Structure 1
Amino acid sequence: MFIGFDYGTSNCSVAMMKEGKPTLLPLEGNDVYIPSTLCAPTRESVSEHLFRHLNIKPSSEVGEQLLRKSIAFNREEDIELVPEDILFGQSALSLYLRDPRDVYYVKSPKSFLGASGLHEIQISFFEDLVCAMMANIKHQAEKSTQEAITDTVIGKPINFNGLGGDASNRQAESILIRAAKRAGFKNIMFEFEPVAAGLEYESTLTKDQTVLIVDIGGGTTDCSLIQMGPSYQGKTDRSNTLLAHSGQRVGGNDLDIYLAFKQLMPLFGMTGLTSSGIKLPLKQFWDPIAINNVEAQKDFYSRQNLAVLNQLRRDAKEPEKITRLIEVYNETLGYSIVRRAEEAKIALSDSPEYIANIALLSETLELTIERDQMVESIESPKSKMIELVNDAVKQGGIKPDAIFMTGGSARSPILCQAIEQQLPNVPIVKGNDFGSVTAGLARWGEVCFK
């Protein structure tokens, strides 16, 4: 049996074909979407969990080395790992928000898979993270199907990392393949996520069109200009119909991060001055919320950085704000701050203002954010997304008949309006914001595995 598998930056989902139509399968309770999150007692618990409780062995000598180190660390810390210690999805997020200091929490590991400069041990660790998540999703899907799932089509962005190019894409795909095989999949295919979304849209067409697919996910924005319609359905080779591709690692998460940086981080001292009138370094306020940047997170939460933060507090004109920043360090609150920004972003799509609340140990910070302030805050990532739209159309050399928008951030009226301004008089069609890619991957699986 095969499934379409959208291993997303924000959410994951899978679909099977049933009576000629894609059907999404429940993965967490009755929910067909599971947040791309994992929570464990320690960072080292993930590798041990795979081996001890799922009988999933490392795929390489480096992986075996990581497993040995992980087991040794947990023994030293007197951690006896049980299967229930590893949580996924909303359960993982809920535990983290209740007690962020005493757990290891990771969101959106897909964002890191194409990162440049990763050491072999880091690559092996990300493979373990992805494998644990995939194994959980496969198990949950099989509970619904009551059948063993052996084959899958996995979606991939046009580019996993804008800086690394083809090397980053190869690295990310290799991690996904190894993780999927260890999770129990036998035959694995890939399809571009915007192309998959387009296949689902194509099933509704009664005549051929040139369609611009704009897939704005949590971690990437991908655009594909595709010829589609009844003449092309069911064909195994669609290479001649793909007129242009563009993609970059900029997505909904970046909108959240920029909104948090511009609007929330001043509460923690950003834009402040030292007592001698010098501006405080921006890096200390960017790194804690750059949740999709491995090095930034490592730098901020390093032991050495605590000394830097304490010196910053001594130098600052408003030391009480830097005290809040030190609490972010001590309580690992970066994810929580970005979460508040995400809530504000969603609310401001429909409301002129939003009151954001950030709970600290000694106080609750409250800030009113206006819609215009949000628009200004996200200008940089929004501009990059619009550049990708223009690039795909320019490459293809033809104006599309329609624009099909999908992905979680495709709901944003701000982004839709910006695209309308670039391509006036081209109708925008909305798909299932989270499910179009998954459904299209299942449809492509029917072609690949028939």
Structure 2
Amino acid sequence: MQQPTAVIRSRRVVLPDGERPADVLVRDGRIEQIAAHGSLLVGDAQLTDLGETVLLPGLVDTHVHVNEPGRTEWEGFATATRAAAAGGVTTIIDMPLNSIPPTTTVAGLDAKRQTADGQTWVDLGFWGGAVPDNTGELEALHRAGVFGFKSFLAPSGVDEFPHLDRDQLEPALAEQARIGALAIIHAEDPAVLSAAPQVPGTHYRDFLNSRPDDAETAAVAHLLDTARRTGARVHILHVSSAAVLPLLARARADGVQVTAETCPHYLTLAAEEVPDGDTAFKCCPPIRDESNRDRLWAALANGEFIGIVSDHSPSTPDLKLLERFGGSGDFAAAWGGIASLQLGLAAIWTEARRRGHTLTEVARWMAGGPAELVGLTGTKGAIAVGCDADLVAFDPDAEFAVDPAGLHHRNPVTPYAGRKLTGVVRTTWLRGRVVDTAGQPFGQQILRTR
């Protein structure tokens, strides 16, 4: 469908090289020109003048668990992508597990694509999964357009997506190196986890002690050694422990192709503030202490993370065992996952501004970097000529208190409930069209192109 030409004007347009007043000309869903503020009047172009409201690039979230088909009561394509659009996210890449079937075969990918067709409010891509016994499937999945392959080094929490043990990791990475695929890894070491104290109950400190920093560092060290031997390109998912950062720096200096991400909950929440029994805060790896959070922010500012992504991993309230829903509040038994797809931008901006960071940095961390990770630079993640006109009108000064009832994801459980955040998404455009979450979805499925 051909879209009308539009000019979107703001005194605060966040471009890759900084923020400035500008006019953005959109034609046929792409950014055709960026010009001086007030200079563009193109025939019958529709003009949207945002005044002082910021124009951001649409965010790219490469770590989203949609869970459909198979566990649609946890989340689904319609609800997840509606939440994404409301939070300024215009592209998501779906994780291969928690759905049934998982995306470990071409048939599994086809099932997801057919299910998602016609019900996404934002653009959607897919990760494949590398699990024991599917090494022979990886090349076909890669050719089918997945953006890479996720593996766990410890149990994933669902039986249909088993983890790779130490003997299975090397052949899986070797095959991914051979076909030129990106390996994305949940890095916790099962031996360290097994040796850690496992104390059930409502005390968050007991849960934190059950997932120590050493679980991440041991897994990352082994992964980096294996990547060095195989030549695989690897990406460390959801880094929660700053203790892994020196390992990554040394590996990069040695020529290992490694990137890493972190998540809003590790950057905005801290163990000291998690109430006992409030299992909405449970995730694996866990939210750690304030000093660790400060080190993650320092690493982010120094360019040690390629980006910030949500790891949106919701479930039904009963699986979270929340006390306010009549559950036990047992951190050991509750499902580990945080739902934050709609809130990530506001949560990060609230903390980033407090620490003296800019919206240009936030756009790089949450749009440009994730787009680079999956090879979408030049199409997504930036306000730049030739890119899709995925744009967000963002009021950086507006404050709101998080009301779970106002969230679009299927089960409105969040550790941000009641928290005051700064920054409100006023409008989201996908390829130049305003996304109306009460209207009809027009998101597209995207495939890896390189």
TM bucket, shorter chain: under 0.3
- Structure with the higher fraction of residues in helix conformation: 1
The TM-score with structure 1 as length reference comes to: 0.27
The TM-score with structure 2 as length reference comes to: 0.27
